[in-house]
Amino acid sequence: MLQERFGSRIHAFIPLELRKIEFGAITPKGDHIIINIAGRNLTSTDMDKFLDYPPVSALIKGLNLTGLDYHKGKYPIRPAGGIIGDRFAAVGDATGLIRPYKGKGINVALETGAKAAEIMINNGISASALSAYPGAFAHLRADFFYGRLFRLLVILSIKTGFVEQVMTMAKSDPYLRDVLFKVVSGEGTYHEVVHEIFSIKELAKLGFSFFRHLPEAVLKAKPSAGR
């Protein structure tokens, strides 16, 4: 039944009406599903609101949701400082080497663990022996700037409602669809994604669409301006 209902796809949501929730997802895992929401200071009440959010409730309608197990988790949002010292190297989440939207925390945990072990075996465990370790992940640190830039663009487009326009455009624009897919699939870097979005042709299309949408965005923003 779960396979029929959800297929083998992750169902992702950007619930514009539930502003605290940056994004949510329903992930089929064979004999069960995982429902995630992400954002700052979320509580079980936000999860209840998400479950009642019409596109979500339509998807989970009729499923037996008794005994739902709520679990609060945290994940890093920026690279950490001081990840090595004398006889220690941080690995996994503690390094903060996570990518917005892609996460890939398990990959990072494996990669950093393997690299730390390799350097310890080859170089030793003193602070100077471990100094090669942070540099091994310079590519992830370099991509962090672009990840943040992209996140900012997403938040802006959600706040102005422009994201709906982008989604509509992506339905008939395979190039834009491919770029959006790369954002969440984990393929390539944010540097590449930002570069592709800011290609002259794509920027012109998005810019044109944005300015057409601007009056609507201003109207949308007005009620909260006096708060």
The residue ranges that bind ligand FAD (CB under 6 A) are 36, 73, 75, 92-94, 103-107, 109
- Least distance from C-beta 95 to ligand FAD, angstroms? 8
- Least distance from C-beta 221 to ligand FAD, angstroms? 32
For residues 73 and 215, which CB has a smaller minimum distance to ligand FAD in the complex? 73
For residues 37 and 119, which CB has a smaller minimum distance to ligand FAD in the complex? 37
- Least distance from C-beta 203 to ligand FAD, angstroms? 32
Confirm if 25 and 36 have CB atoms less than 8 A apart: yes
- Least distance from C-beta 165 to ligand FAD, angstroms? 29
For residues 28 and 105, which CB has a smaller minimum distance to ligand FAD in the complex? 105
Query: DSSP string of 25-76?
Result: EEEE-SSSEEEEEE-TT--HHHHHHHHHSHHHHHHHTTS--TT---------
Place of tokens 């596109």: 55
| Residue among 53, 3, 72 nearest 33 (CA) | 3
- Least distance from C-beta 160 to ligand FAD, angstroms? 28
**226 - beta bridge partners?**
none
For residues 94 and 221, which CB has a smaller minimum distance to ligand FAD in the complex? 94
Helices (H), 136-173: 138-160, 162-172
Rounded to whole angstroms, how far apart are CA atoms 42 and 143? Answer: 27
For residues 29 and 227, which CB has a smaller minimum distance to ligand FAD in the complex? 29
- Least distance from C-beta 74 to ligand FAD, angstroms? 7
Phi, psi torsion values for 55, nearest 5 degrees:
-65, -30
Residue partners of 166: CB distance under 8 A and separation at least 6: 157, 176, 180, 206, 209
99 secondary structure, DSSP code: B
For residues 107 and 131, which CB has a smaller minimum distance to ligand FAD in the complex? 107
